[in-house]
Amino acid sequence: MIYGWTNTILHIDLTSGKISKTSSKPYIREFLGGRGVNVKLLYELTKPGQNPLDPQSPIILGWGPLVGSGIIGGNQTEITFRTYPNGLYGTANFGGQLGPEMKFAGYDHVIITGRASKPTYIYIENDNIELRDASGLWGKDTFETPDLIKEEIGDPDIKVLCIGPAGEKLVAFASIEHNYRAAAGHGAGAIMGSKNLKAIAVRGTKGIKVYDAEKILQINEELVNRGKEVGEKKLKEVEEEIERRREGKETNWIVKRKLGASIGNLNGFSEAGLSWDDIEKTNPIVFKEEQKGAQGFYPCYACPSIWRWLDCPWMVKVPGDGVMVLGCMSWYVYRMYTSDMKTLLEADMLMSRYGLDHQSIMGTISWLMQIYDKGIISAKDTDGIPMEKGSREAILTTIHKIANREGFGNILADGALAFAQKLGKEAEYYLIHKKGLLQSVSYDYRVHVNRALSTAVDTRGDTIRSSSGLFTPTVMYFKGTHYNNPELVREALRLAKEAYGTEKAATPWEYEGVENLVRMYQDFCLAGDITGECIFVFRGIYEFKADSFQPEVRELFANMVSAATGVNITADELWRICNKVITLERAWNIREGHKGREDDTIPRRLLEERLPDGPFKGYTLNKEKLEELKSRYYALRGWDIETGIPTRETLEKYNLKDVADDLEKLGKLPKTKEA
C-alpha cells in the first residue's frame, strides 16, 4: 500500500506522442518529491549545455507527498526547467488547484519533452492521457484558454495550466499561468511555447490515501485554531492601523517601507517622485477602503487563509478591474513611479492575460523609465513613446509590444539584457539583473544584507523564495529605534536570539550571522517545495518561528510527511534532504557553466551606489564583508569555501558520487578537501 505518494512518474514525449509511466519509488526516499525529485530528474534528463528551447529540454512538474494529502496548505506545484534565455537552473512554485488534482489523477511527477508538430494541449483524466489539438486555442489569452478547454471537454472541474500569446511567441519573459496568475516565470512560458504546447489540463478522481488520517485531522485542527488566533491578533493590528490613520499618525505600513528604504528601483522615494501619501495608497487597509468590495478570491486547494490578514499573498478581487496579488501591489507603485491604481491594475491584468512574468516586466519598464529620465535613451529608442516615469502610455504600450513582439518590444522580448546591450554600457549599468534574469529588489540589499547574500548564492538566481521579506525581529528593532522605544528594542533582540541564536539577526545590515538567516529561510522554503506545503501558511500561522525554521516548525513538517506517507521522517532527516537538494541544484548549475563564487554576484549598482534617502541614507554594501559572508555560507552548506562548489565529500555523503564524478570529468570539482 502506498500512502501520500502515487509512485508514478508520467512521461509525455510530444515529438513521438509516446506516453509512458515509470515508478517514482527510486527517487522519493532520497528526495521526497516536488523540487527535490525534480532536480534529480533534471540532472538525469538534461545534457550539459543543452539549449533551453531544444525539443529535448524537459519541463518537469512535481508534487510532494503533502500535495492532496488533505493537510491545510498541501497544494503546491513545482515546475523545474532550464531558464530561458540564460540556460541555468529554473524552478518555480505555485499553489492553486492544479497540484492536488494531478495527485488525485495518480501522478507524483510529469515530464514533458519533445515538440509537437502542431499546437497541442495535454488532457489528463486519471489514467487516460490525450494529446489534443490546440489550433483553436492558439492566440487565446490565459483567462480564455481554461474556459475554452473546460467547455470543449464539458467538465467545469478541470484544472488548467497554460501559456498565453507571449509564450507562443517565445518571449523571454513569458510565464506559465494558472488561475489567472503567473505560476512560473524565467522563460518557462517560452519553453512550453517552443514545444507547441498550449496547456496541460487535468481531472483526477482517484484521491490520495494517507497513512494516518487521524493525525492529519489533528494537525489541521491545530493549524486552523492557531490560524484563527493569529488572525484575530492581526485583525487587532489592522484596527490599530486604522486608528493611527484616523489620528493622522505615521502608519505601520510607512514605517516598514522606511525600513525597506529604496524599494524596487534603487532610487529613493523622493528621487522617484513619490510622496509618502502615494506609498500609503499601497497600504492594504487603504486599498481595501478605496476599492470597495475587494475580497479574497480563488483560494488554493485546502487553504482557508485567504483574506484573513494572515500574510497570504494570494489574490484579491477588485470589482470592475480584475484581480491582483495584494502582497505584490506595492511593488508596482515603486517600480512604475505612479500610484494611479487604475493603470496598475490594468497593467497587471494585461500581463496575466498575455502570460508575462510580472516581476520581470515591471523591472524592465522601471529600468526604461530610469534611463529615459537620465537622458540615456530618448523616445526614438522606444518607437516614439516617451518612457516618462509613471506614464500610463509607457507602461501599457511596452507590455503590448513585448507580448506581441512589435517594434522595440521585439528586441526586449529576447530579454532585457539583449536590449540593454544594444543600447550600450551606460544603459546596461542601470539594469538590475543577474545573468540576464531580472531582479526584484523588494527590500533594499544595502539595508537587508540577507537579501544580498541570498541573491548572490541562490540556485535559481533570484530571491523570492530564498529570502524573507522583513524578519519580525528586524521590524520590531527598527520600530523600537525609530520611536525611541527601548522596550521594543529589547523584545526584538530577545526574539532574534530565540529565532536565530543571535541578537544580530535583528540587525541584518550588520552582516554578523546573516549566513544563518539565509540558510534557515532557504531551508524553510525548500522544506515547503519538497513536501508540497505552502510556506505562506506557515509564515502566517507560525510567524517568525517559520522564517527561522525553528525546531518546532521542522518537527511539524516531518510529522506531516510521516502522517501522510507512513514513512518515518525525522526533523533532522528532512533538514538533511533540504541541504542535499540545494547541493544537487548547485552541482547542476556548476555542470552547466556556473562558475561558483565568481558568478555568485549581485547587481553592480548595489555595490557602487549609496542609498539616496530614508533612515539608512548613505548605506552601501561592503564587498569584502559580502565575500566573507559567502565563505561562511558555503561552509554551512558543505561546499568548497574557496570556489563555492560542492565538494566530493559532501556529494558522496548524499549518495551523489556520480555527480562528483561528472564534475571531476569536467574539471570542475574542487581539488582541496573541505576544511
Q: Which residues bind other proteins (CB under 8 A)?
A: 68-70, 72, 100, 104, 143, 147, 156, 180, 205-210, 213, 216-217, 220-221, 224, 227-228, 231, 293, 296-308, 317, 319-320, 322
For other proteins, the closer of residues 216 and 329 by Cβ is: 216
The residue among 164 and 644 lying less far from other proteins, judged by its C-beta, is 164
Least separation in angstroms between residue 8's CB and other proteins is 16
Residue 485: strand, helix, or coil: coil
Query: Does an H or E element contain 77, and which?
Result: strand 77-82
Mapping DSSP to helix (H, G, I), strand (E, B) and coil, where does residue 123 land? strand
> E strand or H helix at 87, and its extent?
none
Distance of closest approach, residue 394 Cβ to other proteins, in angstroms: 25
- Closer CB to other proteins, residue 306 or residue 362? 306
CA distance 329 to 344: 9
Minimum CB separation of residue 213 from other proteins in Å reads 4
**Burial readout 295-321 (b: 16 or more C-beta within 10 A, e: otherwise):** ebbbbbbbbbbbbbbbbbbbbbbbeeb
Cβ proximity to other proteins: between 165 and 304 the closer is: 304
Which residue's CB is nearer to other proteins, number 150 or number 405? 150
72 Cβ contact partners less than 8 Å away, ≥ 6 residues apart: 219, 220, 223, 224, 302, 303, 304, 537
| DSSP type of residue 407 | T
Task: Tell me how far apart the alpha carbons of residues 573 and 462 are, in angstroms, rounded to a whole number.
Answer: 27
Question: Beta-carbon neighbour count of residue 224 at 10 Å?
Answer: 15
> CB of 236 within 8 A of CB of 132?
no
Measuring CA to CA, which residue among 374, 227, 322, 301 is closest to residue 70? 301
In this complex, which beta carbon is closest to other proteins, that of residue 61 or of residue 563? 563
Closest CB to other proteins among residues 221, 652: 221
Nearer Cβ to other proteins, position 2 or 470?
A: 2
Q: How many CB atoms lie within 10 A of CB 177?
A: 34
| Phi (first) and psi of residue 406, to 5 degrees | -110, 140
CB of 143 to other proteins, least distance (A): 6
Give 131 or 213: the residue with its C-beta nearer to other proteins: 213
Count of CB atoms within 10 A of residue 255's CB? 17
Q: Grid coordinates representing 33?
A: 518529491
- C-alpha span between 315 and 295 (Å, rounded): 8
Q: State how far the Cα of 11 lies from the Cα of 548, in Å rounded to an integer.
A: 37
Distance of closest approach, residue 532 Cβ to other proteins, in angstroms: 12
Q: Which is nearer to other proteins, 88 or 350 (CB)?
A: 350
- Which residue's CB is nearer to other proteins, number 361 or number 563? 563
**531: nearest Cα among 44, 37, 65:** 65
Minimum CB separation from other proteins for residue 343, in Å? 18
C-alpha dist (Å) from residue 665 to 38, 596, 662: 24, 17, 5
Give dist(CA 69, CA 530) in Å, integer. 14
C-alpha cell at 363: 523591472
What is the Cβ-side half-sphere exposure of residue 617, based on CA atoms within 13 angstroms?
A: 8
How far apart are CB 207 and other proteins at their closest, in Å?
2
| Minimum distance, C-beta of residue 119 to other proteins, in the bound complex (Å) | 23
β-pairing, 59-62 vs 77-82, is antiparallel
What SS3 class is residue 617? coil
Q: How far is the CB of 120 from other proteins (least distance, A)?
A: 25
Omega cis (within 30) before 85: yes
Task: Give me 295's grid cell.
Answer: 475580497
When the beta carbons of 208 and 464 are compared against other proteins, the nearer one is 208
Instruction: Record the cell numbers describing residue 325, joined without a space.
Output: 496579488
The distance of closest approach from Cβ of residue 26 to other proteins in the complex, given in angstroms and rounded to an integer, is 25
Q: In whole angstroms, what is the distance from residue 50 CA to residue 60 CA?
A: 16
Q: Which is nearer to other proteins, 323 or 495 (CB)?
A: 323
CB of 306 to other proteins, least distance (A): 5
Cβ distance to other proteins smaller for residue 154 or 320: 320
Q: How far is the CB of 302 from other proteins (least distance, A)?
A: 5
Beta carbon of residue 468, minimum distance to other proteins (angstroms, whole number): 24
Return the CA Rg of the chain. 24
Task: State the nearest-atom distance from the C-beta of 543 to other proteins, in Å.
Answer: 17
